[in-house]
Amino acid sequence: MVSEVLNANELYKVDPVFGQHSFNNHEQIVFCNDKDTGLKAIIGIHNTVLGPALGGTRMWNYNNEWEALNDVLRLSRGMTYKAAVTGLNLGGGKAVIIGDAKTQKTPELMKKFGEYVNSLSGKYITAEDVGMETSDMDLVREVTPYVTGISESKGGAGNPSPVTAYGVYMGMKAAAKFKFGTDNLEGKSILVQGIGHVGETLVDYLTKEGAKVIISDISEERLEAVSKSYGATIYRGSDLYSEAVDIYAPCALGATINDDTVNKIQAQVIAGAANNQLANEQVHGGILQNRGIVYAPDFLINAGGIINVYAEIAKYDKAEIMNRTQNIYNTTLEILNNADVHKITTNQAALNVAKANIEARKKENNK
């Protein structure tokens, strides 16, 4: 047997799960496979100190299994801190289904996935995410009670996307207040990247306030429809990151703030709905801080969705959902001010609050 000395950066090649940087001390990872339905899914449970791990299911046509695993690990970790910084009695989890939601998603596949969720006996509670609809959650509910975001007609809180968008809107206004001295967005140029369910609703809020909204998306059909509905300008340039706008709102997939883009960004504020916007939290968060760009932590301002579905567990009404989501404004402003005082990144300031809440509960549990 030949032993080789590996560089630390190459450890992932022989330790594809525990050796991943994104593993980050996950409690449990479940790989789900079903030949008959074609289901290939991964459930990540990051932390359950505050409560059961709640997080949506994303269906995406990943390039490979490694990409899917890395995505679910990063997303589930984000859910832990999202619930903690928002003050919810929930842990962090997430699931990904590998495949094309438009062509490969079937009722049978969704029910089989629900059976895997059920096998975890409530340690993980699923919900809607990219590639999913409320009707899919209704199918999952047929085989397990451990699902949220089901139709209001079935006793659920319904589609979380509008509430997510409202939270992002509140967080954006708070970031504008911090940077510009006013939270009035009238006349501000705002580039919204990704106009799915959440992005479109955000465009609606911004348009009604009188902002100059520019939209970008991979779907030309979506661009035309949203532009027509709200009068938004379609971005036709070649490099949106270099666009001279006041606010950049990433609302598609994550890691758009990376080595290639972070020094191009001309916006003075970044506030969007996408998860894991910073490809490297320390490096890219630090660069934004040094450049004077205000970054509203994504796991804080996009927490409206989890607040919405948590209502099904905590049994509070729509008015309370909106009140809690509106409070994202205050929390964001507090964290931005805290980061400024302590000369740390805004992302680190938000993480500090989340981790402190988790540690406090851990001490309570150990008494």
Distance of alpha carbon 10 from alpha carbon 6, whole angstroms: 6
Report the C-alpha gap between 79 and 90 in whole angstroms. Answer: 9
CA distances for 31 relative to 34, 72, 109, angstroms: 10, 11, 15
pLDDT digits (tens, 9 = 90+) for 101-134: 999 999 999 999 999 999 999 999 999 998 999 9
Segment (H or E) for 205: helix 197-209
**Helices 346-365 and 281-291 meet at what angle, rounded to 10?**
130
The pLDDT of residue 14 is: 53
Measured distance CA(354)–CA(362) in Å, rounded: 13
Helix/strand/coil for 279: coil
The CB density around residue 337, as the number of other CB atoms within 10 Å, is 13
Neighbours of 245 (CB within 10 A): 20
In three-state secondary structure terms, 160 is coil
What confidence tens digit (pLDDT) does each residue in 199-255 have? 999 999 999 999 999 999 999 999 999 999 999 999 999 999 999 999 999 999 889
Q: Are 23 and 73 in contact (CB under 8 A)?
A: yes
Strands 269-270 and 53-60: unpaired
Q: Which residues are catalytic?
A: 94
Specify the pLDDT at position 16.
Answer: 64
**β-bridge mates for residue 57, sequence order:** 95, 128
The CA-based angle 135-140-77, given to 5 degrees, is 100
Evaluate the CA torsion angle 57, 62, 64, 70 in order and state its sign: negative
Distances (CA, A) of 102 to 69, 77, 130, 132, 161: 21, 27, 12, 10, 19
What's the rounded Cα separation, in Å, for the pair 19 and 121?
28
Average pLDDT over residues 17-21: 66
List pLDDT tens digits, range 292-314: 999 999 999 999 999 998 999 99
d(CA 279, CA 256): 7
Cα atoms in the 13 Å half-sphere on the side-chain side of 269:
29
Q: Which residues contact 11 (CB under 8 A, 6 or more apart)?
A: 19
Please provide the average confidence, as pLDDT, over all residues in the chain.
93
Q: State the pLDDT confidence band at 22, using cuts at 50, 70 and 90.
A: low
Look at residue 6 and tell me whether its pLDDT is greater than 50: no
| 197 has pLDDT over 70 | yes
Cross-strand partners of 191: 214, 248
Q: Is the pLDDT of residue 23 over 90?
A: no
pTM for the predicted model, two decimal places? 0.88
pLDDT at 15: 64
> Which of 284-309 are b and which e, b meaning 16 or more Cβ less than 10 Å from the residue's Cβ?
bbbbbbeeebbbbbbbbbbbbbbbbb
The tokens for 122 are: 């409530």
* pLDDT attached to residue 19: 65
Listed residue (21, 41, 166, 165) closest to 94, CA to CA: 41
Alpha-carbon distance 243 to 254, whole Å? 19
Q: What is the mean pLDDT of residues 148-155?
A: 90
